[in-house]
Amino acid sequence: MIPPDDEDAIEITDDEEDDLTLMQAVKNLVAEKPNLSRWFVSSPELMKQQAKAKQRKENKKKQKEREQVADEEESPKERKKKKRKLTNDDEDDEDELTAYIRVLKPQPPPPPRLFDPDSTTFDDFMSLMSDALPCPVANIVLDKTEWKPQTPMNHAFLPLGGTGGFGALKKQMKKSKDKTLIIVMPGPRKPADNLPGDDGVGGGAGEAGPSNAGANKAFDFSQLETTSTEDSVEQQKLTFDQAIASHIEELQERWPVNEAGQRIYTDDKGFK
């Protein structure tokens, strides 16, 4: 017991003294064997950790309250500037972008129409064919020229003939959704094969006597020529002989044929 005459002393009852003695015994036991602290509801070390955790929680709460008050006191302009700065910082952390540049090219113009069914006459149509081939109008074999729409594929070919056949062509193409037609004809007549009266002025290409718009144009007849395999091989041999002719002449000058000593070898089959 604490002496009663001490003014600063606190009187401790027997029960309180027993509690203090027990707590001191627990502290001493835990200090000697810390592993026993988990068996006690409360220990000095546990109480110390709880106090630190509580203090951290209170500090965090106070910090949050201070930040909230500071945000409320900030002007909208400052908050916007701060947000923009944070956004820029975030963008700096992004990966680099790769850009590909593609220069746009102008689209090619659509192919020109050969003729307009509403406004094209038969003479104009023949002149347009003359320009497309090209050849003089008088050289077009009109009586063997045929046409058909591109669709359907199994549509029969129809004779073009003269103005009558061309009129039927225009009526058919006006009704058809597909405005594409196929014209089939034999190769144009060569100038030497022109019929009497084909003077290039008119009357030699059909009953309507179309104008000779392509008189100064020449058709490439080589595209109509066909060669067999034998002709092709013979042409290759001829081309090869022409290419080495100068070398053969030089060899024959230096080593004449059938000369004694060094000479060009010749067998019975003529190979040299």
- The strand pairing partners of 159, in sequence order, are 146
What does the DSSP 8-state code read for residue 119?
T
Report if residue 78 sits inside a domain.
yes
Residue 104 lies in a domain: no
Give the β-pairing of 181-184 and 158-159.
Answer: unpaired
Q: Are residues 233 and 195 in the same domain?
A: no
Q: Tell me whether the omega of the peptide bond preceding residue 134 falls within 30 degrees of 0, making it cis.
A: yes
Distance CA 137, CA 204 (A): 8
Indicate the residue type of 100: Y
Question: Do residues 129 and 217 both lie within one domain?
Answer: yes
The per-residue pLDDT for 5 is 47
pLDDT at 175: 83
Letter for the amino acid at 27? K
107 occurs within a structural domain: no
Considering 206, 223, 240, which residue would you say is the last residue of a domain?
Answer: 223
CB atoms < 10 A from the CB of 146, how many?
15
- If asked whether residues 244 and 208 sit together in one domain, one would say no
Contact predicate 219/188, CB 8 Å: yes
pLDDT at 6: 44
The pLDDT of residue 186 is: 84
267 and 216 in a common domain: no
Q: What is the tally of structural domains in the chain? A: 3
What range does the domain containing 40 cover? Answer: 14-88
Q: Which pLDDT score, from 0 to 100, does residue 22 have? A: 65
What angle separates helix 163-175 from helix 122-132, to the nearest 10 degrees?
90
Q: What is the mean pLDDT of each run of 10 residues along the chain (272 residues)?
A: 42 49 71 68 68 88 85 65 59 70 74 69 86 83 88 88 85 82 84 53 40 56 63 78 85 74 61 48
Domain boundary among 88, 111, 144: 88
**Whether residue 34 sits in one domain with residue 73:** yes
Give pTM, 2 decimals. 0.35
Q: Are residues 142 and 188 in the same domain?
A: yes
Residues 66 and 31 in one domain: yes
Residue 217: per-residue pLDDT: 60
Residues 167 and 235 in one domain: no
Classify residue 202 as left (phi > 0), alpha (psi -120 to 50) or beta: left
Please, is 166 exposed, middle or buried when counting C-beta atoms within 10 Å of its C-beta (0-12, 13-18, 19+)?
A: buried
In total, the chain counts a number of residues equal to 272
Are residue 204 and residue 144 in the same domain, yes or no? Answer: yes
In a domain, 96, yes or no: no
Question: How many CB atoms sit inside 10 A of residue 176's CB?
Answer: 15
The encoded tokens of residue 73 equal: 């006191």
254 and 194 fall within a common domain: no
**Which stretches does DSSP call E strand in the chain?**
146-149, 158-159, 181-184
Would 5 be classed as within a structural domain?
no
In a domain, 264, yes or no: yes
Residue 110 in domain? no
Q: Are residues 128 and 171 in the same domain?
A: yes
The H or E element containing residue 209 is none
Does residue 28 lie in a domain region? yes
Q: How many CB atoms lie within 10 A of CB 40?
A: 13
143 and 200 together in one domain: yes
